[in-house]
Structure 1
């Protein structure tokens, strides 16, 4: 076995989220902006020479068959025809089911890290295609750039955004994404936004926010509390809510006032993720 190496798995925020239609197969067509953060999980990797893949995300209640970290490793191993294996472990900081992309980011980091450590030789487009089979959010983490995204999340255009800090509040509840997508109250035909309208500040809505606030009192309370300090928004389908500030100091002042039972985190928005920075600077390649 090799020594353990540590690879970042950053969280994301959805700075807006619209549903603009549905495909014939029932999948929803989305528009969103993924803002990658300088904060998140870490994936620890140790290469094995016996072909075995062990460990995983460590999330309670997730079976090996459902574990995105294990699925990503097995998928890459099969795709690359690799005879090496790996021990995998995740240091979790991103709240599970919080709308911050933790599971998708962990899977993306697994793909990028093992592609490098196994010297599998897949390019970033091939890794992103593998990631899409694991989930719609995985490719943006593989590519490692804050981005405008459309379709089911697979059409990605890197986006340079102004520096910003964020207060992220975890209400500590679980939101069923499947139930929200099936809700008859969900707006599925919103007008399409443009990148220019977003950059001009005209697009900040989240299609799921009204439903989530109506169904989950604690999320509504978290948004109300955070809304005292500015325009609080929901990330993804929730449960986490966030507020953008101009400085980290401002974010930290607000986070320090967070009441129980909520938890608050502070993170900075980045155009290039810590994972992509590590992969690009690694002597063993991306």
Structure 2
């Protein structure tokens, strides 16, 4: 096999996001539930005859050498060479960007995770999911979740993951039209950093009783983001008319859950034209898993 095309890199939503402390190195300690949704970037991989790792498409605002995809592949190539005693073939990567940058959807981290999974397959490298997670973690705390590949209760800096059942629902997501820089949010002096911790059983029990998120947790970063970025506040206020609207990650995207696609469609039809908005279905598992499984069956 020399290529893998149409590889999905799905978005994630933080169903809640609590900042429960701060480490001595400055990293924040978090609790969250990450859920995958079926809105995704698409990546296309082709092995090369040389050993270069090349991004063949332009991504506005992201130089190739800074792209998490390229950096993740280079880290994996180094680990491959250490394990196998020689360098792997090069890879060309084409990227179809759908997910906005600075949106809190994890697009860059998801792209990197999909690249690690695809290269592991194309190179027949034999790395386990845990080993790929270790390769990805230094580049971004969200990368391990996408490699974990299912709804997860996250702790630590986001890397300590445990499977949990999430809501089976549709989401309406609004892009407020601003890119929110994560360091600015976490560096804000008014960020709450001492939210009381919760447990997986707290989350699961609430979901079992209520069938939705209403009344459980919040996003501690949201208050800072709406103070700094008025469009985020405006989108939250508008979407909050229809349910428990929340911001995902450090922003800027906001979302609200609905029990049916038809409900989501009704709300989507009312979204003001100034915003980009879309619906997405919650996913139980990462679609790359089935794609790679089917690839192995074909082989």
Q: 1:89 to 1:284 in 2, by over 3 A?
A: farther
Task: Judge conservation of contact 1:14–1:236 (CA < 8 Å) in 2.
Answer: yes
Query: Unmatched 5+ residue regions in structure 1?
Result: none
**RMSD after superposition:** 1.7
Q: Could you tell me which residue of structure 1 aligns to residue 99 of structure 2?
A: 94
Q: How big is the shift at 1:275?
A: 1.7
| Normalised TM-score (structure 1) | 0.95
Q: How big is the shift at 1:281?
A: 3.3
Whole-Å separation in 1 of the counterparts to 2:125 and 2:49: 14
| Normalised TM-score (structure 2) | 0.91
Q: 1:284 to 1:109 in 2, by over 3 A?
A: farther
Whole-Å separation in 1 of the counterparts to 2:44 and 2:15: 29
Q: Could you tell me which residue of structure 2 aligns to residue 278 of structure 1?
A: 291
Runs of 4+ in 1 over 6 A off after TM superposition: none
TM-superposition CA deviations, 1:60-95 (whole Å, max 9, x none): 122233110100111111111133011101111111
Q: Could you tell me which residue of structure 2 aligns to residue 228 of structure 1?
A: 241
Task: Describe how 1:1-286 pairs up with structure 2 within 5 A.
Answer: 2-3=2-3, 5-55=5-55, 58-81=58-81, 82-199=87-204, 200=206, 201=213, 202-283=215-296
SS state of the match for residue 21, structure 2? strand
Task: Judge conservation of contact 1:49–1:83 (CA < 8 Å) in 2.
Answer: no
Whole-Å separation in 1 of the counterparts to 2:60 and 2:74: 20
Query: Unmatched 5+ residue regions in structure 2?
Result: 82-86, 207-212
Task: Judge conservation of contact 1:193–1:203 (CA < 8 Å) in 2.
Answer: no
Q: How big is the shift at 1:280?
A: 3.3
SS state of the match for residue 241, structure 2? helix
Task: Judge conservation of contact 2:4–2:118 (CA < 8 Å) in 1.
Answer: no
TM-superposition CA deviations, 1:245-269 (whole Å, max 9, x none): 0011211221122112111111111
Whole-Å separation in 2 of the counterparts to 1:215 and 1:52: 41
Task: Judge conservation of contact 1:171–1:222 (CA < 8 Å) in 2.
Answer: yes
Whole-Å separation in 2 of the counterparts to 1:72 and 1:56: 16
Q: How big is the shift at 1:190?
A: 0.8
How many residues align? The count is 285
Q: 1:196 to 1:224 in 2, by over 3 A?
A: same
